[in-house]
Amino acid sequence: MQGKILSTQLISGDDGKRYEYDKNDVVNLGDKDLAVLTGSVVDFVSFDDRVAKSIYIISENVNVSGILSADRIRPARTMALWGIGLEFFSCIPYIGENIKLIIGIASFVLYSMAIYSVSKAAASKSLFKNYIITAIIGFLGAFFFMLSIMLLDNSEHVSIGTKVIAVLLLGGIIALIVAIYFYKIHAELARLSGSSLFLWSFWIFVVSVPLYFVFGIFTGFAGFTNFAGFVVSIIVLVPLFVAWWRFGKVEKR
């Protein structure tokens, strides 16, 4: 029977049915990438009307958009790795605040470009949008959080306990919203790349960062808190760095 490749897992047969297949059953695939062969004509056999076996590509149709999708990952991966590396460098204790600010901006720009490139390569309508929403909420959240602390601190009619509860409640709401969108970003990256390390990085972040802030609040030991922040950065950024390092290609949804 003959048919056409619809995706890396699906063939449309001439009989009007669709057949699932494994790339290992494509006999003459060689080193070709199935992601760029969408629309190619194949000959195959099927024994249960659902799965294609012994598949031969008899007429190739090179999918240019698929090639672009694969090629865009390389520069995206490079930008992401540089962004993460700069973020790690900016977390080193005792570096000047102005230098940290410059490095942080450069890191954000590079990582944003990486997310945008992956989003375009995967034809994703949600990845970059969720990233921008996260960045905006995070920035505005941090601004209003610090503003609320200043207002409460200058208010003589509010007890210390109420101030603490109000600050923690506001910070918790902001953190929860950011975490939801942060999870969406890492979940989609994990799906597109096939690497669960993106999700591992997210969960490590969720656990370690709150513990770091709690430790800083209750100890007030600035020197050790700075060191703890550096350690947390290593714990969070290392799996994220490895995940991007292993990110080889992405297919359109």
pLDDT of residue 250: 66
pLDDT of residue 110: 92
The arithmetic mean of pLDDT across residues 167-177, rounded, is: 73
Domains of the chain, start order: 2-62 (2.40.50), 65-245 (no CATH)
pLDDT of residue 187: 92
Residues 134, 112: Cα–Cα separation, whole Å:
11
Residues 239, 235: Cα–Cα separation, whole Å:
7
**What percentage of the chain carries pLDDT values higher than 70?**
71
Beta bridge partners of 11: 5, 19
Residues 174, 74: Cα–Cα separation, whole Å:
34
Per-residue burial over 13-50, b if 16 or more Cβ lie within 10 Å, else e, is beeeeebebeeeebeeeeeebbbbbbebebebebeeee
pLDDT of residue 112: 92
pLDDT of residue 67: 45
Question: Does residue 225 surpass a pLDDT of 60?
Answer: no
Question: Does residue 105 surpass a pLDDT of 70?
Answer: yes
pLDDT of residue 168: 65
Question: Does residue 223 surpass a pLDDT of 60?
Answer: no
Asked if residues 46 and 53 have their Cβ atoms less than 8 Å apart, the reply is yes
The arithmetic mean of pLDDT across residues 218-241, rounded, is: 67
Question: Does residue 44 surpass a pLDDT of 70?
Answer: yes
pLDDT in tens, 183-205: 999 999 998 888 888 998 888 88
The arithmetic mean of pLDDT across residues 156-160, rounded, is: 61
pLDDT of residue 75: 83
Eight-state DSSP code of residue 1: -
Supply 53's token pair. 């076996």
The arithmetic mean of pLDDT across residues 52-65, rounded, is: 77
pLDDT of residue 226: 59
What type of residue sits at position 28? N
pLDDT in tens, 119-130: 877 778 889 999
On average, the pLDDT of the chain sits at 78
Per-residue burial over 191-220, b if 16 or more Cβ lie within 10 Å, else e, is bbbebebbbbbbebbeeebeebeebbeeee
Residues 182, 133: Cα–Cα separation, whole Å:
9
pLDDT of residue 253: 47
pTM: 0.61
Question: Does residue 208 surpass a pLDDT of 80?
Answer: no
